Amino acid sequence: MVGDKVKNRDKFPPVSDGKSQYDLYSGKYLKVWQGPQHPGITGNMSLELVTSGDQVVEARTHVGYLHRGFEKLMERRKYIQCFPLVCRICVPEPDFNEHLFAECTEELAGITVPERAQWLRALTLEMARLTSFLMWIGGQAGSFGMGTLGQWTVTMRDYMLDLFEELSGGRIYHMYIIPGGVRSDIPEGYFSRVEETLQKVEHVLDDIELALFHNAVFKKRAKGLGIIDPSLVDLYGITGPNARASGISRDVRKDSSYLIYDQLDFQPVTDVGGDAYARTWVRFQEMYQSIDLIRQMMHRMPESGPFFTKLPNVLHWKIPAGQTYKRAECTRGEYGFFMVSDGSEYPRRVAVRGPSYTHAVTLMERLAVGANIADVAGLMVSLHTYPPEIER
Partner 1 sequence: MSIKDIIAPFSVWKRAFEKPYTSKRPIDERPGAARYRGFHINDMATCIGCGTCEEICQNAAIDMVPVSKTKHGDSGLRPMIDYGRCCWCALCVDICPSGSLGMSNEYIWVDSDPEVFRFIPGQDNKSWNDSSLGYRRAEGYDLLEGERVAMPMLSFEESQKSFIEMVQGYSEEQAKREADRCVACGICIATCPAHMKVPDYIEAIREGDMEEGLRIVYQANPLPASCGRVCSHACEYVCAVKHKGEALSIRWLKRYIIDQIYKNDYQKILDEIPEENGRHIAVIGSGPGGLSAAYYLRLLGYAVTVYDANEKAGGMLRYGIPEYRLPYEQVDKDIIYIEGLGVTIEQDTRIGVDLPLTDLYKKHDAIFFSTGLTDPYGLNIAGEDLKGVMSGLGMLDDVTQGKTPEIGSSVVVIGGGNVAMDAARTSRRYEADVTILYRRREADMPADEEEVEEAQGEGCQLITQAIPLRLEKGDKTRLRLYWGRAEMVPDGEGRRPKPVLVEGSEELIECDTVIPAIGQAADYSFIPEELLSSIEFTRGYVKVNEFYQTGDKKIFAGGDIANSKRDAISAIANGHSAAKGIDIYLKNFKEEVSRD
Partner 2 sequence: MRTQLQQVSTRFSITLIDELAPERDDLLFVQVEKDQAVPFLTWLQELAGYTHLVFFTAVDFIEEGYFQLTYMVHDYSTHQDLAVLLKLDREDPVVESIHHLWPHAATYQQEMYEMYGIEFPGSPRLHDDFVLEGWDDLPPMRRDFDTRQYSEDTYFPRGGRKSRDTAEYMKEQLYPGEAETW
| Residue 234 sits in the site that holds partner 1 (CB under 8 A) | no
Q: Are 240 and 329 in contact (CB under 8 A)?
A: yes
**Virtual CA dihedral for 147, 153, 154, 159, nearest 10 degrees?**
160
- Nearest-CA neighbor of 338 among 328, 330, 349? 349
E strand spans, 41-178: 46-52, 55-62, 177-178
Cβ closest to partner 1, residue 32 vs residue 146: 146
Angle at 379 between CA 376 and CA 383, to 5 degrees: 140
Dihedral (CA of 227, 390, 33, 132) sign: positive
State the Cα–Cα distance between residues 12 and 295, nearest whole angstrom: 51
**Residue 216 beta carbon to partner 2: minimum distance, rounded to whole angstroms:** 35
Q: Which of residues 57-86 bind partner 1 (CB under 8 A)?
A: 77-78, 80-85
| Residue 211 sits in the site that holds partner 2 (CB under 8 A) | no
Sole window of 34-42, 60-68, 115-123, 178-186 interacting with partner 2 (rule: CB under 8 A): 60-68
| Residue 189 sits in the site that holds partner 1 (CB under 8 A) | no
Out of 11, 28, 31, 76, the only residue in the binding site for partner 2 (CB under 8 A) is: 76
Out of 173, 236, 284, 386, the only residue in the binding site for partner 1 (CB under 8 A) is: 173
Cβ closest to partner 1, residue 84 vs residue 230: 84
Distances in Å between the Cα of 96 and the Cα atoms of 331, 341, 372, 380, 389 are 10, 20, 34, 22, 11
Indicate which of partner 2, partner 1, none lies near residue 229 (CB less than 5 to 8 Å, by partner kind): none
State the Cα–Cα distance between residues 153 and 136, nearest whole angstrom: 9
Sole window of 174-182, 239-247, 334-342, 378-386 interacting with partner 1 (rule: CB under 8 A): 174-182
| Residue 37 sits in the site that holds partner 2 (CB under 8 A) | no
Indicate which of partner 1, partner 2, none lies near residue 363 (CB less than 5 to 8 Å, by partner kind): partner 2
Distances in Å between the Cα of 375 and the Cα atoms of 34, 222, 382, 384 are 12, 8, 10, 14
**Residue 88 beta carbon to partner 1: minimum distance, rounded to whole angstroms:** 8
Q: Are 291 and 195 in contact (CB under 8 A)?
A: no
User: What residue type is 282 in one-letter code?
Assistant: V
The phi, psi pair for 252, rounded to 5°, reads: -60, -35
Q: Which of residues 219-278 bind partner 2 (CB under 8 A)?
A: 234-237, 250, 255-256
Q: Which of residues 333-362 bind partner 2 (CB under 8 A)?
A: 334, 336, 338, 340, 342, 348-349, 351, 353, 357-358, 361-362
205-224 b/e with 16+ CB inside 10 Å = b?
Answer: beebeebbeebeebeebbeb
Out of 307, 337, 357, 386, the only residue in the binding site for partner 1 (CB under 8 A) is: 307
**Residue 248 beta carbon to partner 2: minimum distance, rounded to whole angstroms:** 9
DSSP 8-state assignment for residue 89:
G
Per-residue interface string for the shown chain with partner 1, residues 133-162, x marking contact by CB under 8 A: -------------------x--x--xx--x
User: What residue type is 299 in one-letter code?
Assistant: H
Indicate which of partner 1, partner 2, none lies near residue 296 (CB less than 5 to 8 Å, by partner kind): none
Out of 308, 317, 325, 346, the only residue in the binding site for partner 2 (CB under 8 A) is: 325
Cβ closest to partner 2, residue 286 vs residue 391: 391
Contacts of residue 274, Cβ cutoff 8 Å, sequence gap at least 6: 227, 228, 229, 230, 245, 246, 247
Indicate which of partner 1, partner 2, none lies near residue 304 (CB less than 5 to 8 Å, by partner kind): none
State the Cα–Cα distance between residues 355 and 100, nearest whole angstrom: 14
State the Cα–Cα distance between residues 352 and 388, nearest whole angstrom: 11
Cβ closest to partner 2, residue 177 vs residue 361: 361
Indicate which of partner 2, partner 1, none lies near residue 311 (CB less than 5 to 8 Å, by partner kind): partner 1
Residues contributing to the site for partner 1 (CB under 8 A): 77-78, 80-85, 88, 152, 155, 158-159, 162, 165-170, 173, 175, 181-185, 187, 207, 210-211, 214-216, 219-220, 306-308, 310-316
